[in-house]
Structure 1
Amino acid sequence: MRRFALILAIWPGLLAAEEFRKLSGDEILEALSGRKLTYGEGIWQTFDDTMLTQYYSGRPSSGRWAVREDRYCSLWPPSDLWSCYDVQKSGDTLRFIDDAGGSTDGMYDK
């Protein structure tokens, strides 16, 4: 019985650790500035403090990033349109959610 009680006592904490929490604009800046995320299969992205971003998925691509109204936004030339995403965090994982509800998860590169 004692083991069962211990498992129940720990269980809510384990569930809470798995949940994603929406980040504010300041939290997005802190979470991304000067960092690198990996998306699996050799795909990664850096977020410079100068608001430049590099994305690599078989070949490099350069763009700009910003935080606007508590959302991560990016611009990828030759397009001049900014795309914005809500950002959620759980541990070392950031989730980018587009306006259609699609999501992409990236993990901090260590």
Structure 2
Amino acid sequence: MLRFGVVLMLWSGPGLAADWQTLTGDQISAALTARVVVFPEGVAQYFLEDGRTIRAGSWGEWRVDSDRYCESWSGKRPICAEVDSDGIDLRFREDSGFVRAGRYGDL
């Protein structure tokens, strides 16, 4: 068990960074517009300027609502999250408690 804890402490993957800053609405727009974010499982999500997004071959829509990122897929109800950044990583924190973190894939 101790070995697992040491490995976890040494792992520097997205989601475990220490210097996260919560982004405002304008910062979220700037962070995502015309960008690509790659998640740990290797799936890339593209954020187009016109509000469309594509992930794993599926098209959806994204927008910024106040200081929250919102996305909807296939006309379903939007899922919204606060967004944090540490510079090269982004973390999406949903109200449900689900957290998804990824790294820019277009740097």
Where does structure 1 differ by over 2 angstroms across 4 or more consecutive aligned residues? Answer: none
Which structure 1 residue ranges, 5 or more long, are not aligned? 1-16
Quote the Cα distance in structure 2 between the aligned partners of 1:71 and 1:65: 11
Tell me the alpha carbon deviations over residues 26-82 of structure 1, each in whole angstroms, 9 at most, x when there is no partner.
0000000000000023211000000000001xxx11000000011000010042x11
TM-score normalised by the chain length of structure 2: 0.79
Match for 1:106 among 61, 77, 102? 102
SS of 2:95's equivalent in the other structure is coil
Corresponding position of 2:79 = 83
Larger radius of gyration: 1
More helix by share: 1
TM-score normalised by the chain length of structure 1: 0.77
Which structure 2 residue ranges, 5 or more long, are not aligned? 1-16
Quote the Cα distance in structure 2 between the aligned partners of 1:52 and 1:102: 22
Question: Between the two proteins, what is the percent identity of the paired residues?
Answer: 36
Does 1 or 2 have the higher relative contact order (CA < 8 Å, sep 6+)?
2
Quote the Cα distance in structure 2 between the aligned partners of 1:100 and 1:87: 14
Mapping 1:56-71, distance limit 5 Å: 56=56, 60-71=57-68
Q: Number of paired residues?
A: 90
